Amino acid sequence: MAEHDFQLLELLIERGSYMNTYWNFFIGVSSALVGILASGKNFTKNATLKVVLVLVFIVFAASNFEAISSLVQQRHALLAQLSPNFPADLKASLQPKSFAEYLTFHLVLDVLVVVCILFVPWHRLHSE
């Protein structure tokens, strides 16, 4: 492997780490939001608050996905610059999932969080 490949490998690993950071941030915000609602406090009955939370969450989720999508594009660009003698198995292990897979996974999680915010009667579950 050439020195150039080692530098690219370092950048690829760094981008993978950033990807994990964005997923962890997404999971943390989603869990905190659902956790606060699961407390069953009186404010969890407020429909206006739920709509506001959904709108804020949608903006957050869209910006989070945009950052993840950007990292996927960066990783593809870096992989394309690797030399032909770069180990194929290592290159394959650095290959990100497809855009469609990330989009589908993110959307499924987004819908689950929105459904939890809008339709789960947290206050009733807590009082029973």
pTM recorded for the entire structure: 0.87
Q: What is the pLDDT of residue 32?
A: 94
Find the helix packing angle between 3-38 and 47-80, rounded to 10°.
170
The predicted structure's pLDDT at residue 119? 87
Mean pLDDT by 10 residues, the chain (128 residues): 89 95 97 88 87 96 98 96 93 94 97 92 64
Indicate left, alpha or beta for 40 from its phi (over 0: left) and psi (-120 to 50: alpha).
Answer: left
The one-letter code for the residue type at 125 is L
pLDDT score at 67: 97
pLDDT of residue 127: 58
Domain total of the chain: 1
Containing structural domain, residue 94: 3-127
Angle between helices 3-38 and 99-119 (to 10 degrees): 10
pLDDT, position 2: 84
pLDDT at 60: 98
Give the contacts of 96 (CB within 8 A, at least 6 positions apart).
Answer: 19, 71, 72, 75, 76, 102
Per-residue pLDDT at 125: 62
How high is the pLDDT of residue 88?
Answer: 93
